[in-house]
Structure 1
Amino acid sequence: MSRPAHLRDKAVDQPRAAARDTLRAIRERDAYANLVLPKLLRERQITGRDAALATELAYGTARATGILDQIIASAADRPVADIDGPVLDVLRLGSYQLLRTRIGAHAAVSTSVDLIRSEMGQGPAGFVNAVLRKVSQRDEELWIDQLAPPIADDVIGHLAFQYAHPRWIAQVFSDALGGSAGQLQALLAADDERPPVHLAALPGMITAEELALTSDGEVGTLSPYAVYLAGGDPGALEAVREGWARVQDEGSQLVARALSLAPTVGEDTGRWLDLCAGPGGKAAMLGALADIAGARVDAVEIAEHRAELVRSAVRDLPVTVMVGDGRDPGLEPGFDRVLVDAPCTGLGSLRRRPEARWRRRPADVADLVVLQRELLTAALGLARPGGVVAYSTCSPHLDETRGVLDEVLAEHPAVELLDARELVPAPDLGDGLTVQLWPHRHGTDAMFLAVLRRAV
């Protein structure tokens, strides 16, 4: 049995080998970088600055894959589809170092050549050397000038290339932003950066101020429960280990908080519902808020393995987790507050999922919109008269946000759309009664929120 590639040659740079193996897992089995890389770092005992380098290279390369592939194809004078997968992984890794880091050209090329030589021999190593040397002859700006659509002819296409997004996603963002090229550029630039880690201090367990002190973080600006972590492993923090705090984007915190604040009509019964609960972040926040309010939360998740994640997230909170389909969960109607954090394309959280932008396709949207509409309809049926329903997606796609909302409201004339902006303490939330958060405006994922209330 052959040894793993990272062990075949002691001269191979271990942080780069970990990054390379993460890219391979993404390519070969559609793995997620944030699940693969931490495991590799632990197994190989890569820590400190080496772990930080491996993380930057793996996440950055995954995020920039599309633009890197076009540059590699030009430098190699062949489509990337004609390049062996293991060779392509190393070319992507080397090209990222050359174009988007301060790593010297010699180090970027030589470590890449060492990686491929240790696994595949001198022939592929010579090819990698030749391609990367050609890549190194231009910086990223010059490659953009050569390969991107001219900005005068195609602003969206040019910006999509410049900031490493598929063009169709840039078009979706442009539509949601009202066609402003300046806003689109600011969003794509923010989306192309590695985001800071947001922590959520669960109310009733720890305050944001206490969490900031114990984590060496900074109290957030929008959510009263948010803390911005400067660096390090959040899993090593006592507050996270004990379940008092967790990693959660500030936008998600604001959504859960908004549901807890939305005005109901009539006497509350203490019944709250999270209809699409996995993996459990919002369920935990709702559970903490419900505990303070003297309420309980039912949390529904269709997949058993994700339901287990929810159970882990809500331990010691007044939350009951069940496996079921949110469209027909078998629950008795009459809930005061219902959250529909619907499955979606996830286009609003691309900065946190570096490989996701190259996996999604426009065809994915249609089936998701049907599911979202069915879930929101089910939620309205489960809410009591005078109860409220929060509909949220981590996507700004107009079909998944206003499109779903408008269709459901048209079918339910007795349902009132509340002003969600009054429930979210943030500026520049958009026109109308719904909320659209943005990375470039609010520093959050691009969360959408609408709050509906059933007529009494």
Structure 2
Amino acid sequence: MSDRRAPRDPRRDDRGRQRGAARSRGEGHRTSQAPSQRRRRTDPARTAAYDVLREVDGSDAYANLVLPPLLRERRISGRDAAFATELAYGTLRLRGRYDAILARCVSRPLDQVDPDLLDVLRLGAHQVLGMRVPAHAAVSETVALARDRVGAGPAQMVNAVLRAVGRTPLDEWLALLADEAPDPVTALATTGSHPVWITRALREALVGHGRSPDETRDLLDADNAAPRVTLVARPGLAGPDTLRQEADDADVRLEAGRWAPTALVMAGGSDPAGLPAVADARAGVQDEGSQLVTLALAAAPLEGADARWLDLCAGPGGKAALLAALAAGRGATLVANEVQPHRARLVERALRAVPDGVVERVRTGDGRELGAETPGEFDRVLVDAPCTGLGALRRRPESRWRRTPSDLGELTVLQRELLAAALGAVRVGGVVGYVTCSPHLAETRLVVDDVLRRRDDVERIDARAALRDVLVPGAEIDLGAPDGGAAGLDLQLWPHVHGTDAMHLTLLRRRR
């Protein structure tokens, strides 16, 4: 036998050098991944969802403002756009739950994990536990995303962590988290993916507004469900039949709202801007609860004239546009005030379809000044006060992780000042509607009680009765058990009961 060796293959030398370099970068270790799991790039939908999470975290942006233009820019549409939307929004909503699970699968505290890597893990956890994605595909694609965005070394960690996450079914994870919680409210908060302080506040709000604390779980679950897009057909500008015809022409399916005669709900992920009535502001996108509180204010009984209306905090303009359309039908006029110039421009856009002469002006200025500047000049005043937004967490999923209890102090001072200004601007016999998209007792009942404690010329009137007067014919609505006091007069809507944002309305009348 010859001891002569075969000539060396230079391609084998190149491959050997490449493997050595890969090992030096931490890429050459054997793993249980299939070849498809080791590819470097992931699909555009997952990349878009990741980029939204990074923008939300890094720039305090809102996902609903970042995602749609990003999808258009990258030409992601159809099922891919729907997947990216559910992945981004679902991950943001359920971040607290997934962090509690990931903390049991990562070898170091999560606050020591790089934020970009942590967002990859959250996206992977949502695919494994919260979406109809096969586990092997969820792990494979998330590892590819990690390789593409944060590097090969972290990708190995992602692979190991997500496999650990996927070994336990979601219901078992939730049972474990609940068992380990120190008290029932913390258990609800962790499994329901809300901060503890918000969970406690929502529970107290349910009780304070005549409902059972046992509904807290259902409320949290409703906050974690993706809401459908609701349109408002602005009276006199576009009726529901007009919107339905335009939707049929665009192959979009609309369903009648549950409560408001002005509301239509879009089925599927269609773009509302594709409807001509929405594009030219004869209609708009507006939560049904927001429509209901506006309609109820417009229906509240008055003493005397009903000619001049004021929207004290009008931005971005949805309620102002509905009020203006209603005012036009009654021969009334509207003044819309907004303190921030860029939001005042949004109000102007929302009002552009209203007939000439109905909108007196869009004022840019501090609403707290109007009580002294225009004393007793208005018949109806809407105060849609800035608030924590705890009633709209299903639409702004990142808000729950940004708000803190300390926000309440500054906001409730502003709310009191705005309500006092509104009561100064309304005439004797006129009506003020105090509205928040938060059910928090500190922002609703306590604000009104504190303002009324300082004056004896204002009375509460029945907001529940005003609501019932504007419902679609035959609608039976559950508003909780009235207690004969403020809870029996104020209106509080709930996502888990009414399918709306948790809008609050108190109606007040100047007596003298």
**TM-score (norm. length: structure 1):** 0.95
Secondary structure of the corresponding residue to residue 104 of structure 2: helix
Shift of 1:123: 0.8
CA 1:255–1:206 in structure 2 vs 1: closer, same or farther (change >3 Å)? same
Shift of 1:210: 3.2
Q: Does 2:194 match 1:165? A: yes
1:296-330 per-residue CA deviation (whole Å, 9 max, x = no partner) reads 11111111111111111111322221110110147
CA 1:51–1:132 in structure 2 vs 1: closer, same or farther (change >3 Å)? same
Secondary structure of the corresponding residue to residue 477 of structure 2: coil
Q: What is the match of residue 105 of structure 1?
A: 135
Secondary structure of the corresponding residue to residue 443 of structure 2: helix
Task: Please give the alpha-carbon distance, in whole angstroms, between the structure 2 residues aligned to 1:99 and 1:325.
Answer: 47
Q: Is the 8 A contact 2:280 2:353 kept in 1?
A: no
Q: Does 2:455 match 1:418? A: no
Q: What is the match of residue 32 of structure 1?
A: 62
Task: Please give the alpha-carbon distance, in whole angstroms, between the structure 2 residues aligned to 1:372 and 1:42.
Answer: 38
1:401-440 per-residue CA deviation (whole Å, 9 max, x = no partner) reads 1001111111121111110111113622242111000111
Of 439, 442, 455, the match for 2:495: 439
Of 187, 204, 211, the match for 2:243: 211
CA 1:120–1:433 in structure 2 vs 1: closer, same or farther (change >3 Å)? closer
Q: Does 2:374 match 1:332? A: yes
Q: What is the match of residue 449 of structure 1?
A: 505
Q: What is the match of residue 233 of structure 2?
A: 201
Task: Please give the alpha-carbon distance, in whole angstroms, between the structure 2 residues aligned to 1:192 and 1:121.
Answer: 31
Task: Please give the alpha-carbon distance, in whole angstroms, between the structure 2 residues aligned to 1:183 and 1:146.
Answer: 22
Shift of 1:281: 0.5
Q: What is the match of residue 188 of structure 1?
A: 220
- Please tell me the residue identity of whatever aligns with 1:323: T
Task: Please give the alpha-carbon distance, in whole angstroms, between the structure 2 residues aligned to 1:63 and 1:161.
Answer: 12
How many pairs does the alignment contain? 446
Q: Is the 8 A contact 2:281 2:349 kept in 1?
A: no
Shift of 1:181: 4.1
1:7-46 per-residue CA deviation (whole Å, 9 max, x = no partner) reads xx98421000000000000111111110111111011000
Q: Is the 8 A contact 2:40 2:145 kept in 1?
A: no
Q: Is the 8 A contact 1:273 1:339 kept in 2?
A: yes
Secondary structure of the corresponding residue to residue 243 of structure 1: coil
User: Comparing 133-142 with 325-334, which one deviates more in the overlay?
Assistant: 325-334
Q: Is the 8 A contact 1:300 1:326 kept in 2?
A: yes
- Please tell me the residue identity of whatever aligns with 1:249: D
RMSD: 1.6
Of 267, 278, 301, the match for 1:240: 278
User: Comparing 164-173 with 336-345, which one deviates more in the overlay?
Assistant: 164-173
- Structure 1 gap segments, 5+ residues each: 1-8
Identity of aligned pairs, percent? Answer: 54
Of 423, 426, 435, the match for 1:383: 426
Secondary structure of the corresponding residue to residue 501 of structure 2: coil
Q: Is the 8 A contact 2:256 2:264 kept in 1?
A: yes
- Please tell me the residue identity of whatever aligns with 1:301: E
Q: What is the match of residue 328 of structure 2?
A: 291
CA 1:206–1:21 in structure 2 vs 1: closer, same or farther (change >3 Å)? same
Task: Please give the alpha-carbon distance, in whole angstroms, between the structure 1 residues aligned to 2:90 and 2:277.
Answer: 29
Q: Is the 8 A contact 1:155 1:181 kept in 2?
A: no
Task: Please give the alpha-carbon distance, in whole angstroms, between the structure 2 residues aligned to 1:443 and 1:422.
Answer: 20
Task: Please give the alpha-carbon distance, in whole angstroms, between the structure 2 residues aligned to 1:242 and 1:225.
Answer: 17
- Please tell me the residue identity of whatever aligns with 1:236: G
1:164-209 per-residue CA deviation (whole Å, 9 max, x = no partner) reads 1111111111111118343111111111100111110000012224
Q: Is the 8 A contact 1:205 1:244 kept in 2?
A: yes
Q: Does 2:174 match 1:144? A: yes
Q: What is the match of residue 227 of structure 1?
A: 264
Secondary structure of the corresponding residue to residue 102 of structure 1: coil
Secondary structure of the corresponding residue to residue 444 of structure 2: helix
Of structures 1 and 2, the larger Rg is shown by 2
Q: Is the 8 A contact 2:391 2:438 kept in 1?
A: yes
- Please tell me the residue identity of whatever aligns with 2:477: P
Task: Please give the alpha-carbon distance, in whole angstroms, between the structure 2 residues aligned to 1:33 and 1:149.
Answer: 33
Q: What is the match of residue 293 of structure 2?
A: 255
Secondary structure of the corresponding residue to residue 328 of structure 1: helix
CA 1:124–1:276 in structure 2 vs 1: closer, same or farther (change >3 Å)? same
Q: Is the 8 A contact 1:212 1:219 kept in 2?
A: no
Q: What is the match of residue 394 of structure 1?
A: 437
**TM-score (norm. length: structure 2):** 0.85
1:228-276 per-residue CA deviation (whole Å, 9 max, x = no partner) reads 11121111112211211111001111111111111111233x2110000
Alignment of 1:112-151 (within 5 A): 112-149=142-179
Q: What is the match of residue 13 of structure 2?
A: none
User: Comparing 98-107 with 419-428, which one deviates more in the overlay?
Assistant: 419-428
CA 1:149–1:401 in structure 2 vs 1: closer, same or farther (change >3 Å)? farther
Q: Is the 8 A contact 1:202 1:245 kept in 2?
A: yes
Secondary structure of the corresponding residue to residue 335 of structure 2: strand
Task: Please give the alpha-carbon distance, in whole angstroms, between the structure 2 residues aligned to 1:14 and 1:40.
Answer: 11
Task: Please give the alpha-carbon distance, in whole angstroms, between the structure 2 residues aligned to 1:289 and 1:361.
Answer: 37
Alignment of 1:72-91 (within 5 A): 72-91=102-121
Task: Please give the alpha-carbon distance, in whole angstroms, between the structure 2 residues aligned to 1:420 and 1:82.
Answer: 50
Shift of 1:130: 1.2
Q: What is the match of residue 204 of structure 2?
A: 175
- Please tell me the residue identity of whatever aligns with 1:293: R
Q: Is the 8 A contact 1:149 1:157 kept in 2?
A: no
- Please tell me the residue identity of whatever aligns with 2:124: G
Which 4+ residue blocks in structure 1 deviate beyond 4 angstroms?
A: none
Task: Please give the alpha-carbon distance, in whole angstroms, between the structure 2 residues aligned to 1:282 and 1:121.
Answer: 47
Secondary structure of the corresponding residue to residue 239 of structure 1: helix
User: Comparing 229-238 with 205-214, which one deviates more in the overlay?
Assistant: 205-214
